[in-house]
Structure 1
Amino acid sequence: MTAAEVLSEFAADAALSSDLSPWGGKFSGKLLMAPMAGVSDAAYRLMARAGGAALAYSEMVSCAGLHYGEKSWGLVDPDPAEPDIAVQLFGSKPELFRESAQRVSERLGERLALLDINMACPVPKVTKKGEGSALLEDPELAAKIVRACREGAPDARVTVKIRRGRYMGQEVAPEFARAMEDAGACAIAVHGRFATQMYHGEADWGVIDRVADAVSVPVIASGDILSHDAAQRALSQTGASAVMVARGTYGNPWVFSGHEPTAAERIAAFECHVRLLEATGAHLKRARSLAGWYFKGMPDAACWRNAAMSCVTAEEFLAVAASVRASVQNVQNAPGTEWTC
């Protein structure tokens, strides 16, 4: 089955839509699926769009990888079922950004919603090369990178994702965002933590207001958007035009719509997601993490998660889902019955 056929046949059972609309180019009030390394493959993006995400991002893609080999293009190419895609690039050399922007734009055409430049990744193996959040310390180089992307893909929207700053107590986001706007960025996504915090502590949404006051382009809120309610609060309580949801999407494609799924819908969503992995040619071992996310909070969730850890084929993952469904039905039919794994 193709991904489109999977959605057509199985999305409704999971309270998801099979009718995926193009983004439309508007940030105002939109909920976007964030780029997540090792997570946001085509199947994941399709689930998010089916759940109501206005736009979904690729995993972050190395400009050097696109230059030196073909493997990285697998992260860029959308599935035929995707109406469009945001591609996030990372690196530190303006000339490679220029080349990557041109090649991605030519390859995807109208299906390229926007090009995003990662200036937020805090992972040491990225920052030690001067990439990701390390660029927050070099606004001149960062501006050259934005201009290079604009030169390479003059018809593409170019955005930037940043953090509050690289080191604790050293906030640079407002002035840095202004420099990125001056260089040609059409929107700024702001994660409300310092890079050295990684994902610990709480995100400071106050920096979103400070960035919004500093620039005239749309600002996208990021950090601790873990629920639909949190997304709506970020839109109503800050100067953000849109929000970007990352960890809040784990096992929860309904985070974009606010739908509260039943246990049956969560199981159906897992099954749909597994089938999309297979349809898009992704490594099915990714479904092991998905099982933990979709079954989280269910009785005996750890047992089902452990069962999924030994699965290899789609059929094996679907068999685990069938067992979970049978247990749910037993409990519903006979209240007080113990779940069995």
Structure 2
Amino acid sequence: MTTPQPALTDPWELAGIRVPNRVLLAPLAGIGNWFVRLQAARHGAGMAYSEMVSSFAIHYGNEKTLTELLRVHPEEGPTALQLFGQDPEIMRSAAAYVAEHVPQVDVIDLNMGCPVPKVCKTGAGAAMLKDPDTAVAVARAAAEGSGKPVTVKLRSGSVPGDTSGVDLAHRLVAEAGVAAITFHPRSAKVHHAGVPDYDLAAELVASLPAPVILTGGLHTVAEVQAAYERTGAAAVMLARGSLGNPWLFEQLLGRRDDGPTAAEILAEWHWVIDRAEEHLGPERAGRYLRKFHPWYVDRLDGGKELHIALQQTHTVADARAVLAEHESTLLVT
């Protein structure tokens, strides 16, 4: 008799850590700071992963990394910090630092799937698919250095048709004691293009003696539910589909049926602006927020003029002034 698949709302355990549901926030490079993770938690995410952080930057004491990228808000809930790097001893040192100085971190996650050339050319990220011995050594070092559970994010392979990610997943669990694998069933070469190979993900789920967290191509409620059921994964991880749309967590967890109102979107946008200012100060936040504004403009059908005006802002005050000028129009869209 086949055991029914748990609902996305069901709690589960990751290496002894209780995760209240099966909808997680992915590690979003350059985006997943503490307030983005807190936003996801506010809307129901069972666990959130940080943006990827250089193990070398931690080891060598980079000030920005230590003071900004390692910041965890006390209300985030279960949190994973994602590290990247190809040197086992540097990784051991970085993981030990995190364990000592950021005790709120529950899990160390390792990025072995990033396809960006500047990461891969160092031997990190998806380049690890071609060097499985080093990948296993790095994962083992992270666990030994931190004393915390280690998870790994993998791509299916380096190029279409390559399934080396499946083989590496098995080695990481068997030889390095990795607690779970986050699997993006696209090759590194295609980045985010093409259709994810969910059948391959299902094969990994069926064969791996550890939980598999599914990510990739999950933008709508229908897509997430279909992929979750098709693969039998332990959980799903929202990435780009959640950008400017934290309500997707609520919809998947049955907390709401419809999308947000214009007033809700605008209120959330202001919340993001306020948190960014708290994180970076008014001037740095003003520049940093240029990558966030388009998500909310598009959800409100704000149009090209508003896009352009916000991309020309330099401070948080500038952004608030532009929003105030357009607010009445946005609330009736």
- Number of the residue aligned with 1:105: 99
- The answer as to whether partners of 1:79 and 1:280 remain within 8 angstroms in 2 is no
Q: Deviations over 1:292-317 (max 9, x none)?
A: 10121434422211111122222322
Q: Which residue of 1 aligns with 2:197?
A: 204
Q: What letter matches 1:287 in structure 2?
A: L
| CA offset digits 1:275-307 (Å, max 9, x no partner) | 011122263122222221012143442221111
Query: Using the alignment, how far apart are the partners of 1:252 and 1:228 within structure 2?
Result: 12
- SS state at 1:243 partner: strand
Q: 1:244-263 counterparts in 2 under 5 A?
A: 244-258=237-251, 259=256, 260-263=259-262
Partner of 2:46: 54
8 Å contact kept, 1:177–1:214? no
Q: 1:47 to 1:167 in 2, by over 3 A?
A: same
**Paired residue secondary structure (1:161):** strand
**Structure 2 length as normaliser, TM-score?**
0.87
Measure the CA separation in 1 of the matches of 2:320 and 2:33.
Answer: 20
1:303 alignment partner, one of 278, 292, 305 = 305
Corresponding position of 1:94: 88
Q: How many residues align?
A: 307
For residues 135 and 208 of structure 1, do their structure 2 counterparts lie closer, same or farther at Cα, with a shift above 3 Å needed?
A: same
Runs of 4+ in structure 1 over 4 Å off: none
**1:164-313 matches, cutoff 5 A:** 164-182=156-174, 183-258=176-251, 259=256, 260-281=259-280, 283-284=284-285, 285-313=287-315
Normalised by the length of structure 1, the TM-score is 0.85
Question: Judging changes above 3 Å, is the alpha-carbon distance between structure 1 residues 238 and 84 closer, same or farther for their aligned structure 2 residues?
Answer: closer
Provide the rounded CA distance (Å) in 2 between the counterparts of 1:310 and 1:175: 47
State the SS of the aligned residue for 2:17. coil
- What CA RMSD, in Å, does the superposition of the two structures yield over aligned residues? 1.9
CA drift of 1:100 comes to 1.0
Q: Could you say which residue in structure 2 is the equivalent of 1:8?
A: none
* 3-state DSSP of counterpart to 2:214: strand
Aligned CA distance change for structure 1 residues 147 and 326 (closer, same or farther; 3 Å) = same
Q: Does 1:161 align with 2:133?
A: no
**Cα shift at 1:249:** 1.4
* Residue aligning to 2:141: 148
Higher relative contact order (CA 8 A, sep 6+): 1
Cα distance change, pair 159–89 in 1 and its aligned pair in 2 (3 A):
same
CA contact (8 A) 2:19 2:47 kept: no
Alignment of 1:127 onto 2:133: no
SS at match of 1:159: strand
1:85 and 2:85 matched: no
Distance 1:120 1:299 in 2: 34
